[in-house]
Structure 1
Amino acid sequence: MQSLGAVKVTGQRNRPIDASAVVAAKNKVLSNQFASSCGFMGGYSAADDDVTLAYLRSFGSLDEDFSDLSPDGNATAPAASASSPGAGEIPSTPSAACAGSDRRFAAGRNWIARKDKSLTQAFDAYEAGDYAEARGRFEEGWKKLGYEEAALMLGRLHLLGLGTPVNTPKAIEWLNEVIDARYHPVNDRLRYDPKKPDQINTRIEATLLLARTYLTGQGTQRNPEEALRLWRKALDFGFEPANTLIGQAYLSGVGTPVDGLKAVEALTASAAAGHTPAMLLLGQLYHHRAPKQPPGIALDLEKAGAYYGAAARAGNLEATYAFARMLDLGEGTPKAPEKAVVLYKEAAVKGHADAQNALATFFYRGEVVPQNYATARQFFQAAAQRRQPDAMFNLAVMLAQGQGGDKDMAAAYAWCALSKGLGHEQAAAALPAIAAKLSPDEKSRADAMLKPAPKKS
């Protein structure tokens, strides 16, 4: 019996420091959440990875709207760098060997840090929305002790124009202060933990922020080559998911010529470190279902299934659906619909529209599971509400025939029309037949569903 294989996930690279130990001054002085009005400049979130990858796939379109990078709600405060002391904290091991003068400087710096409140006051002002005061306090903290957090926040403030006019060149200067600080490749290197993907240090956050600025051209000229250089720098700092961005850059030709082999090399390293978006991309490449399939990557269904399976076990819904579909169709493995149903359900209950539609068909036909029109209709409707064209048409059929619930010709017509609008050929063929059976009242109600009245202000 042919196996889909397995992907080994190590979550480690070299011997860097443990990410959970990268907790210094900022965790002492900050609340868990801040920057409610910071918008897209909030702390790093692993959720940004998928947005950036989607943007990379469509790079080059001047009509592309990148405003989706603005997350809703408060941003989580990023983990502090191990090298950044705060009030009451003793500085960590220096980045390089210390001379006597270095030790005397460190002792003096520590004495100041014990008494200094500038960083605490800066973040208090920031949380209160007093950005001008925050900027002054951050500048004070930078002048006194060179807090990396202060430079990072000053970069954000200038980039967004909070407490100061928008000044992207000045923002870039501040971010480079963090990126170019003294760095020890062993002591200061982050250990990426795939179970805590949002836990990064200040240096990496500044690098990713500057890369995104160059990628999008926010307040400066687009420079994808510089974005790619900064992703490589983030990788050197220990941020393993940067390899996923590098791999996607090679796939899309962002800042470098398209190179499928280099893309696979980078993505394989990222997947081995435990980054699930890299696993999904590799599955799509070997399955020949990648958004942009480069030449030279051979179809390998066994590898595709292995990477889909690894990403599914890590909780990726798209990979869970893709792996279920391979099992359902017998791609790279003997057909196993009973296993596919389990995976479809796992993704369906978490809101994956294609999985909801697939699971509904099992209940509709009574395959593997007992036939249940009511449950099928429920899942078709859930998927239809997420704009899944097949589910829209299937729901329309059940509504027109009164299967799994009350018959409703008006709703059947509306869902069939919406499915047709998304290019569904069967819906286009069935729509005239449904329309011919509508009473005037049902036609009026269907039109109201398709063109709801504007809400009164």
Structure 2
Amino acid sequence: MLKSLKSCIAIALCVAALSPSVFAQAQRPETDANDVTDVTIFLRRAANLPLDNIRIDPGSASSCNFFSTSAMDSDYARNFISRGSFSAYSPYGDASRDRGYGSSNLSGSHGGFSYSDRSHCSQSDYNFAAGRAVIRARDRTLTDAFALFDQKKYPEALALFQKSYNKLGDSIAALMIGRMYLLGLGTTPNTREALKWLNKAAEQPNPPRPLRFDPKAPERMDSATEASIVLAKIYLIGHDVEKNPATALKWYQKAASRAYVPAYKTVGDFYYYGHGVRKDVVRAQRNYKTAAETGFAPAQVAMAQILASGDDGVPANPKQALDWYYHAAKANHPDGLYALAVAYDTGQGVKADPKQALFYYKEAAVRGHPAAQNDIGTYFAKGDSILPKDEPIARKWFEVSARNGNPEAMYNLAVMLMTGQGGPVDRKGAWVWFTVAQMAGHPHAEAALKQQEPQMTTDEKSEAAAVLKPKLQAGS
């Protein structure tokens, strides 16, 4: 039990430390701060969902996952961690579709390659492109390099990627070489060398026909764009280089210039939070809007948050804000779903509808929204005509939400553990969660701890202190 509880508290403390301002504050009913015998029920919330998007987890800097790329990087830019796993292949990119080399403006068909506008290309351009296409079609160096990489034969793979680049100057090969030097795969880690190769990949000319953004496949990008994103992250966190937000922003803007829509969202974050640049909400909104109108859900949420109450230079427009939340909810974005839950729960901008509210709370909760998970717990804890009371299920939802860093859920779970609602009494666990809730800023947690202390045995206090001690020391 102690080991399980220690793991539980570690997760909660980690998330609480990273995300103290991510969750909306609840509209609390009038209660006695000393009364902790009932689970607190906070179902009414103000529709204000701030996202602190510029926050760095230094521990992620050396992670392989961190230096992979995904469209959802934008959604979690506050931690600068990619949710996806490292892929050996540039998503949707391969040598046969690379159009970013040379001076040719090509998109039709000629000599095994393609072009459209002869007025922009000389015959030598066509000859060069056609010859390169033939070499590419016959050459297996890049294919063999990826095969070796998949077999974890990294030194051999690195040599073949370098050979492939020497033959054709592929941005894909340069990207892979840069990644391998960055992560120390087949060679000793060498950020300076990684930067050299990533720059070679990222500085390929913009393609004449940018990739079209597909909301169902937002991670789609070419290898040059992917290199730009990796470079941006390196300078953003200062991975073996001096932190340089301005340089990071330059590379995000480069990715945006290649029509990589999620980069517009991150560029907007730089200006909205004034991270390394002068805060400029109007400019941030302009970038958010570009991505939002193309169908990128995180940008739709960002637009909604600005318009909900207005911001510097941007007037409030609650109706438009709700429309953007609807668009994000259609894409199953947790913040969009949660905002609609709040709207139907409180009747803000729509007719109050408890059934619709519960539906959206549930949809947001199952997609990992901590506040929604706590709200589902309160539904089960309280019970009504819509959802029958089920304390064991409520306790499970509170635990899930608490582990994800929600202060209300930490407190509610502690109450249930202390009183034995939904399961056995666990005074030690209650003490731990009340303490974490207090650290996360819950206003009633201190009073609850004072009330619980006389009920604790000396052994229980020692065991609870042992669970808390490692993390408290790490945070000090």
Q: TM-score range by the shorter chain?
A: 0.7 to 0.9
Tell whether the 8 Å contact from 2:181 to 2:187 is kept in structure 1 after alignment.
yes
The residue identity in structure 2 corresponding to 1:266 is N
1:83 equivalent to 2:113? Answer no
Q: How does 1:31-180 map to 2 (within 5 A)?
A: 39-40=64-65, 43-51=68-76, 53-55=77-79, 68=81, 77-80=90-93, 82-83=97-98, 92-94=113-115, 97=118, 98-164=121-187, 166-180=189-203
Tell whether the 8 Å contact from 2:67 to 2:82 is kept in structure 1 after alignment.
no
Of the structure 1 ranges 428-437 and 402-411, higher mean CA displacement relative to structure 2 is found in 402-411
Encode CA deviations 1:67-100: one digit per residue, 9 max, x unaligned: x459666566422162369xxxx85424864433
Tell whether the 8 Å contact from 1:84 to 1:147 is kept in structure 2 after alignment.
no
Alignment partner, residue 217 of structure 1: 238
Distance 1:195 1:152, change over 3 A: same
Tell whether the 8 Å contact from 1:276 to 1:316 is kept in structure 2 after alignment.
yes
Q: How does 1:343-362 map to 2 (within 5 A)?
A: 343-362=360-379
Tell whether the 8 Å contact from 1:321 to 1:343 is kept in structure 2 after alignment.
yes
Deviation at 1:163, TM superposition (A): 4.1
Distance 2:204 2:90 in 1: 21
Alignment partner, residue 327 of structure 1: 344
Encode CA deviations 1:323-351: one digit per residue, 9 max, x unaligned: 31232223333433321111111122333
Q: How does 1:440-455 map to 2 (within 5 A)?
A: 443=461, 446=464, 450=468
Q: Which runs of 5+ in 1 are unaligned?
A: 1-36, 56-65
Distance 2:234 2:226 in 1: 12
Aligned residue pairs total 395
1:369 equivalent to 2:387? Answer yes
Encode CA deviations 1:194-221: one digit per residue, 9 max, x unaligned: 1001221122212222333333333444
Alignment partner, residue 414 of structure 1: 432
Distance 2:432 2:244 in 1: 46
The counterpart of 1:298, out of the listed 315, 321, 327, is: 315
The residue identity in structure 2 corresponding to 1:177 is K
1:430 equivalent to 2:472? Answer no
Tell whether the 8 Å contact from 2:90 to 2:222 is kept in structure 1 after alignment.
no
State percent identity of aligned pairs: 37
Alignment partner, residue 412 of structure 2: 394
Alignment partner, residue 265 of structure 2: 244
Tell whether the 8 Å contact from 1:96 to 1:184 is kept in structure 2 after alignment.
no
Deviation at 1:277, TM superposition (A): 1.1
- Partner SS state of residue 335, structure 1: coil
Distance 1:400 1:161 in 2: 49
Alignment partner, residue 340 of structure 1: 357
Tell whether the 8 Å contact from 1:84 to 1:149 is kept in structure 2 after alignment.
no
Deviation at 1:264, TM superposition (A): 0.9
Deviation at 1:443, TM superposition (A): 4.8
Alignment partner, residue 222 of structure 2: 201
- Partner SS state of residue 241, structure 1: helix
Distance 1:124 1:225, change over 3 A: same
Encode CA deviations 1:150-181: one digit per residue, 9 max, x unaligned: 12222323444444555545444433433443
1:233 equivalent to 2:244? Answer no
Encode CA deviations 1:5-33: one digit per residue, 9 max, x unaligned: xxxxxxxxxxxxxxxxxxxxxxxxxxxxx
Distance 2:462 2:184 in 1: 51
Compare relative contact order (CA 8 Å, sep 6+) and give the higher one, 1 or 2: 2
Alignment partner, residue 379 of structure 1: 397
Q: TM-score, normalised by structure 1?
A: 0.75
The residue identity in structure 2 corresponding to 1:270 is A
Deviation at 1:184, TM superposition (A): 4.6
- Partner SS state of residue 425, structure 1: coil
- Partner SS state of residue 131, structure 2: helix
Distance 1:426 1:70, change over 3 A: closer
- Partner SS state of residue 54, structure 1: coil
Of the structure 1 ranges 402-411 and 115-124, higher mean CA displacement relative to structure 2 is found in 402-411
Distance 2:461 2:165 in 1: 68
Q: How does 1:12-31 map to 2 (within 5 A)?
A: none
Deviation at 1:126, TM superposition (A): 2.6
- Partner SS state of residue 424, structure 2: coil
Encode CA deviations 1:269-306: one digit per residue, 9 max, x unaligned: 11111111111212222235xxxx95233333323322
Distance 1:380 1:48 in 2: 27
Deviation at 1:320, TM superposition (A): 1.7
Distance 1:371 1:230, change over 3 A: same
Q: Which runs of 5+ in 2 are unaligned?
A: 1-61, 101-110, 472-476
Q: How does 1:259-274 map to 2 (within 5 A)?
A: 259-274=280-295
Distance 2:458 2:191 in 1: 60
Distance 1:442 1:296, change over 3 A: same
Distance 2:308 2:140 in 1: 55
Distance 1:316 1:165, change over 3 A: same
Alignment partner, residue 10 of structure 2: none
Q: TM-score, normalised by structure 2?
A: 0.72
Distance 1:184 1:73, change over 3 A: closer
Tell whether the 8 Å contact from 2:261 to 2:294 is kept in structure 1 after alignment.
yes
Deviation at 1:441, TM superposition (A): 6.0
